[in-house]
Amino acid sequence: MSSTFLYGANIAANGIRQHYLRYGGTSGERGARAAVIVIPGITSPAVTWGFVGEVFGASFDTYVIDVRGRGLSEASPALDYSLDAQADDVVALAAALGLERFALVGHSMGARIAARAALRSPRGLDSVVLVDPPVSGPGRRDYPGKLPWYVDSMALARKGTDAEGMRAFCPTWTDEELRLRAEWLHTCDERAVLASYEGFHTDDFHADAAQLNVPSLLITAERGDVVRDEDVAELQQATPAMQHVRVPDAGHMIPWDNAAGFYAAFGTFLGAPLEQQSLTAAAL
Strand 16-23 versus strand 5-13 pairing type = antiparallel
Strand 125-131 versus strand 216-221 pairing type = parallel
pLDDT (average), residues 144-157: 97
Residue 251 · residue 257 · CB < 8 Å: yes
Residues 217, 58: Cα–Cα separation, whole Å: 21
Residues 216, 237: Cα–Cα separation, whole Å: 13
% of residues, the chain, pLDDT over 90: 96
pLDDT score recorded for residue 135: 98
Dihedral sign, Cα of residue 106, residue 212, residue 264, residue 33: negative
Average pLDDT in the chain: 96
Residue 144 · residue 119 · CB < 8 Å: no
Closest CA to 200 of 87, 40, 42: 42
pLDDT (average), residues 276-282: 57
Residues 87, 106: Cα–Cα separation, whole Å: 11
Kind and range of the H or E run holding 105: strand 102-107
pLDDT digits (tens, 9 = 90+) for 31-75: 999 999 999 999 999 999 999 999 999 999 999 999 999 999 999
Kind and range of the H or E run holding 56: helix 50-57
Residue 66 · residue 73 · CB < 8 Å: yes
pLDDT exceeds cutoff 70 at 137: yes
Closest CA to 4 of 57, 76, 61, 60: 57
Residues 65, 67: Cα–Cα separation, whole Å: 6
At 81, phi and psi to the nearest 5?
-105, 25
pLDDT score recorded for residue 277: 76
Residues 159, 23: Cα–Cα separation, whole Å: 32
At 130, phi and psi to the nearest 5?
-110, 110
Sorting pLDDT into bands at 50, 70 and 90, what band is 282? very low
Residue 23 · residue 7 · CB < 8 Å: no
pLDDT score recorded for residue 278: 65
pLDDT score recorded for residue 279: 57
SS3 category, 100: coil
Superfamily of domain 5-141+204-278: Alpha/Beta hydrolase fold, catalytic domain (3.40.50.1820)
pLDDT exceeds cutoff 60 at 280: no
pLDDT exceeds cutoff 60 at 239: yes
Residues 218, 130: Cα–Cα separation, whole Å: 5
Query: How are strands ordered across the β-sheet holding 62-65?
Result: 5-13, 16-23, 62-65, 35-39, 102-107, 125-131, 216-221, 243-247
